[in-house]
Every structure is written in structure tokens, then in C-alpha cells.
Amino acid sequence: MATKNYGGVSVDVNDEGYMTDSSQWTKKVASGIATDEGVVLTDKHFEVIDFIRTKVADGATLTIRGINKSGVVNAKEFYQMFPGAPLKKSTKIAGVPKPESCI
């Protein structure tokens, strides 16, 4: 297991850069990961991140369809907020495991 430093905070990550201990997550850590992913976080980003963290804590499986139906953001906005690979980027920034649906 590797560690990565985000804003002066060391966190445990796997070989793909996803945090392995979500209890180490903070908004400061999220901002550091977002910078690495080329995402500038806004309040709306944190609404989506909070939704993701809550769903994962509840044991839900994350999908883009589920994000679209969340009432927090629609699919088009989700792709704009986390360009390229929205589910991968958003979950990495949220400090949760990579969804099984992501390859």
C-alpha cells in the first residue's frame, strides 16, 4: 500500500490512487486530489461529493444513472463538472473506492 500527500496530509492509496481508508478524507484532501485530476472544486462539486460519500456509506452501488436521478446534478452537468471520466474522478475525489462499473 502506498501513501500520497495532499495539502500536508498523508493518506493511504491503492495502485490506482484511490484512498483505501475513507476516514482519512477531508475537504483539504479532496481539494488536493481534485487538483491532481484537473478539477477546480465549487460548492456544487461538494454537494455531489457529499451525495457520493453518503451513498457509499449506505452500501449503494454508484452509477451515472443513479447520479442523474439523485436530484443533486443531472448527467450532463456531472460530465461537465468531472470531465473525461466523471464517475472515476468524482469517487476518487470523494475518497471512496472505485465503482465496480468503472474499468
Residues with catalytic roles: 102
Cell numbers for 79:
460530465
**Alpha-carbon span 14 to 24, nearest angstrom:** 14
Q: 20 is written with which cell numbers?
A: 483505501
Contact 12, 24 (CB under 8 A): yes
For the chain, the residue count is 103
Rounded CA-CA distance 63/48 in Å is 13
